[in-house]
Structure 1
């Protein structure tokens, strides 16, 4: 495997898991049980952010360093753009987690929690969709995917 060789399979798998959790969160938000018993939703949100934190760590330590040294200027530019955008999204997630640390915070304003959870889940889904279509597909087309 060369320095720039990357398999997108693991990252796409993570995205699929994140998408499934996002779907569970959306279903829980639609059930309107948030006001009476937010525990299941909060647990699922925490699970989502745990998995996403691992995913981001892998991207930061393995994927982006390889892409940023790729000989193709288009690959480098796309990777740099996505990495910059991810910093903004990460800050948004951190603010969300700080604002909604648990059931007590949710009980104080469940409507705001629902609204902000929908927003952050939508942003996450949008991001992983773009990453799959634009970045990962670019990696695959550039012949960077390893045989593994």
Structure 2
């Protein structure tokens, strides 16, 4: 099972990248640089990897647990993961092609990117407050390994 330390490192990196990118993309000239693009796609990769890691490593034990509250928590987060992936995919189709940004309306890009960052950061907050404590309660060894 993935360790809490690994999940924490992933969420810290996602948060850091979203904070830096939120600042960089406001300036159109900086937004169109290869440095910003590299950070943007690093962010994309980190978000996708984090969600995939949770899908693969956390939910199976929770979904088969005999406590309905635990099962419901897993179902809620798994469903949320699917929805975030769907929204994230639509966002990427709109603004990227072949790992490059294609921004025709800079103001709209900044607005939608801020919304995406907020969605992902709220998810991370919910994971820390609700999902990870549930995983710890069910998998006592997970807390020790973390």
Q: Could you say which TM-score interval applies, normalised by the shorter chain?
A: 0.7 to 0.9
Structure 2 residue 86 is the aligned partner of structure 1 residue 91: yes
> Stretches of 4+ moved more than 6 A in 1?
none
Unaligned stretches of 5+ in structure 1?
none
Match for 1:20 among 3, 16, 19? Answer: 16
Give, in whole Å, the separation in 2 of the partners of 1:143 and 1:8: 11
Q: More helix by proportion, 1 or 2?
A: 2
The alpha carbon displacement at 1:16 in A equals: 1.3
RMSD: 1.9
Unaligned stretches of 5+ in structure 2?
none
Matched-pair contact (CA < 8 Å) for 1:68–1:75: yes
Name 2:135's counterpart in structure 1. Answer: 139
The alpha carbon displacement at 1:43 in A equals: 2.3
TM-score, normalized by length of structure 2?
Answer: 0.84
TM-score, normalized by length of structure 1?
Answer: 0.83
Which of the pair has the greater relative contact order for Cα pairs under 8 Å at 6+ separation?
A: 1
Name 1:37's counterpart in structure 2. Answer: 30
Structure 2 residue 120 is the aligned partner of structure 1 residue 127: no
Name 2:63's counterpart in structure 1. Answer: 68
The alpha carbon displacement at 1:18 in A equals: 0.9
